[in-house]
A and B are shown apart, each in its own frame.
Chain A
Amino acid sequence: MIKTPTLLKIQTTSNNELLDVVIRSQEGDQEAFYQLFKRYNKPILSFIYNVIGQQPLAEELTQETFVRAYRNLKTLKEPNKFPSWIFAIARNIIRETLKEPEYKRNITLEEIDLETKDTPDKQIINDEINEVIKQAVLSLTEDWRIVFTLKMFEQKSYEEISEITGWSIGKIKMDLHRARLEVRNKIQNYLA
């Protein structure tokens, strides 16, 4: 029998520990908030980057996400839902940004720059695949991009994605399926 796969990352930190850190942050403890930052800055940055596609802007938005989170932390009634909550903030900021006409201008002017350093062949292939995946994801619609990034790159469950986006699980499944089909068409050559 084929073993059931589990893509979901194992949470190393217990929920209790997270709860404690969030509560302390809510009380204004900057040190505790730094703990949260250390833990979530990479996922948030990569999530924003995968959706936006521009690193400087992604960093700026990550910064805004954490500032907004810190200032509104007291409104979080269920501290154990902090991960979904901060992703929801990031997602809101992304959507606000995507509507700005400046962003649209930037993305059209952006050039694809593949780093051609002296790296082993495997690394070059990996970079190429990564770039293809990145472009494939960026070609998706906004909703599909968000769902795809959260599920495939951040390995969030449907329930978590629903909490982050406010969308129903039905829509998420549908969007994800369609996004996968789109991406599959573009990365077909790289599949064995």
Chain B
Amino acid sequence: MKCVEILLKLEDYSYGELSDLESDIVSLHLDNCLHCNKQYNIILQENELFTDYEPCLKPTKNLWASIEKQISQPATINKTTRKIESSPVSNVIRQKYFEVNFSILESKSIWLELSKEISNSCKELFNHPVHFFQQLLQEDTFLVRDTHNWQTGKTIAVVLWLFSIFSYSTIVYQQASAIVKTSELEKITDIAPLVYPFEMLPKTRKENIKEGISDIQKSLSKKPTKFLISKETTKLYKSNISNRSILQLPNINSIDLPNNTTSNVSGGLPSLNIGNLEGIEKNSEVEIKQNGSTGQASISSSGVGSGVGSGVGSGVGSGGNKIIEDDLIYSLNDTGVIAPRILYKPKPRYTEEARQEKIEGTVVLLVVLNANGEVTNIRVIRSVGHGLDEEVIKAASQVKFTPATKNGNPINVEVRMEYSLKLL
């Protein structure tokens, strides 16, 4: 046993209240531990003082005479004797009952005692929680009704303890969630890089972009006439030019391609299924201009193209120039643009703050639905605040769609999305 445990048992040991085994253990420990021995000697000294204590009672009156006188008289029925006549057991029960129910209200000093009890319990619980719970669990003390002060003190101490733990954990959780929130926001801003100018971007991103550009420039300089853009290069290119406003893109609009490439451009106007795109105003932003949708315009493309939708269209491939459309952002009003089809559009979550304040309104976003099926360049046109904008951005970034096409090629389009937020 450790000294701490022994010290707890020293008082009981001095009263002879320990079992034989425990007594032997304590005794053995005391032989070997000077500190505990010292404590034990203090307890023994105190015990000696208390045992020698004799209350300075003056010679008493002849108690027996008055008792004899009273007990020889028959018990009279009055308030006092009625109390006496009831059995001590029922007396005890009744007293306990009244103590539990009414004594708190009657006694003014109970509050003082209670506060002392609470402060003592709290001190003990916060300083020596193990000892506190050991004592608490040792006996079924909470079942004893007579100890309302003690019970209340203990209960309040435990409640305070639990409350402090809860509040501490809440603070920690809030801090943690705040960190997560900011990291999420960073992700969102990644989606909408237009918000930040190039100078404000992290160094690593700047370097990546510069490297990407230089790579492309190098590769272009090597083969200026015949150049096939591989998929990997395109991807790299795309990944590094997320901010179109800050990039000085190389002039790659006209690249000579081999003559044997052919293309089938299918135009026409496929039937557009707007689906669940609630936020888009059908009359304006999603309106599709049919003019030139057949791909008849001055653009004559080459390569293998595939069209989405049905319709009559024809294209004649010739070894002409190809327009790289990856970096361009079209509007739905532009000619030949077939609107994207929204496949999945999650609803934004309501924040607790907004729910409590009963915030309702419409958030309007301007987003780019790019050729890869990603939602980028999210910008808030109309804000509601209270954390709802972030939620809407989050929801918008999860939108799934088939990209818009032009001449059968997937393209980037900028659309306006409206999210009406209403509380149920």
Contacts and interface: CB of A to CB of B under 8 A. Distances in A.
Contacts of B44: 5
Interface stretch (B137-145, B214-222, B407-415): B137-145
Contacts of B27: 1-2, 4
A42 B270 CA distance: 111
Given A30-B68, A37-B64, A88-B92, A165 B146 contact: yes
Main secondary structure of the interface of A (DSSP, over half): helix
Given A2-B31, A71-B85, A152-B50, A63 B67 contact: yes
Contacts of A142: 113
Interface string B48-74: 011111111110110110111011100
A109 interface: no
6 contacts: A2-B30, A7-B47, A72-B87, A96-B95, A133-B50, A168-B139
A5 B14 contact: yes
B266 interface: no
A141 B116 contact: yes
A152 B52 CA distance: 10
Interface residues of A, number: 72
A171 B67 CA distance: 35
Nearest to B96: A166
Contact of B15 (A7, A33, A72, A165): A7
A159 to B, nearest CB: 9
B245 to A, nearest CB: 74
Contact of A184 (B31, B46, B146, B147): B46
Interface of A: 1-2, 4-8, 30, 33-34, 37, 41, 45-46, 49-50, 55, 58-59, 62-63, 66-68, 70-72, 75, 85, 88-89, 92, 95-96, 99, 115, 126-127, 129-131, 133-134, 141-143, 151-153, 155, 157-158, 165-171, 173-178, 180, 183-184, 187, 190-192
Interface string B95-128: 1100000010011000001001000100000000
Contacts of A45: 57, 60, 63
A4 B88 contact: no
Nearest to B106: A99
Given A2-B30, A30-B68, A133-B53, A171 B147 contact: yes
B11 interface: yes
Contacts of A158: 15, 17
Contact of B57 (A30, A49, A66, A191): A49
Contacts of B106: 99
B229 interface: no
B28 A153 contact: no
A168 B141 contact: yes
A14 B86 CA distance: 30
B57 A55 contact: yes
- Which 5 residue pairs of A and B lie closest in terms of their CB atoms, listed nearest first? A170-B139, A75-B87, A152-B50, A168-B139, A6-B16
A11 to B, nearest CB: 14
B401 interface: no
B318 interface: no
Contact of A166 (B52, B58, B72, B146): B146
Contacts of B138: 169-170, 173
Contact of B49 (A55, A151, A190): A190
B92 to A, nearest CB: 6
Given A130-B54, A143-B149, 13 more contacts: A1-B31, A7-B14, A37-B67, A41-B63, A41-B64, A59-B63, A63-B66, A66-B71, A72-B84, A88-B88, A168-B147, A169-B138, A170-B135
